[in-house]
Amino acid sequence: MKNVCVFASSSNLLNPKFYEDASELGTLLGKNGLNIVYGGSRLGMMYACASKVKENGGNIIGIMPKRLYDFGCGNPEDCAEFILTEGMRERKAKMDELSDAVIALAGGFGTLEEVSEMIVQKQLGYNKKPIIFLNTEGFYDNLVKFFDSIISDGFAKKETKELYYLAETPKDALKYLLNYKIENLSYAGKF
């Protein structure tokens, strides 16, 4: 495992705890020889995490749609590799292609859409990557309750809970990531 895809908010207007956890995660990834694949922005939690990866020895791979780049929020100068895509779908496909794992930090609709697609891909057996939600300040509590409702109401099997992991701290996320064993995953691709 070398490249970790991180989905996160690009907002600079959040509770400072979110940036602290993003920075701590980036520090841990970099110190453990891991690189980050991310949205290519120099804003928000995205940048808080990516900049710490680089400061601590990891590489940054930024992937950004041309439209967002034209708004001036791109960060090619810090990236070992910076890829421009035509749109969001191509961006997600490239992030998926270049990553070995996924961590979703707190974020908006884009983060939710990106990580949801990765869960479905894993459910259908297109990948067996670890998928982690970093639950800073209980941000993902309600989403996990919704997932539980999907399962209890019969829209998904109970085994789908194996497809993702809810980490309460950056250290917990890193520990899960470093101890992840594909051969222990019994559910991916067995929908």
Residue pLDDT, tens place only, 111-143: 999 999 999 999 999 999 999 999 999 999 999
Those residues with Cβ within 8 angstroms of residue 1's Cβ, 6 or more apart along the chain or in another chain: 34, 100, 101, 177, 178, 180
Residue pLDDT, tens place only, 14-63: 999 999 999 999 999 999 999 999 999 999 999 999 999 999 999 999 99
Look up residue 60 and give its DSSP letter: E
pTM score: 0.94
Q: Which two tokens stand for residue 135?
A: 């639950």
Residues in the chain: 191
Residue 183: the pLDDT is 59
User: What domains are defined for the chain?
Assistant: 3-184 (3.40.50.450)
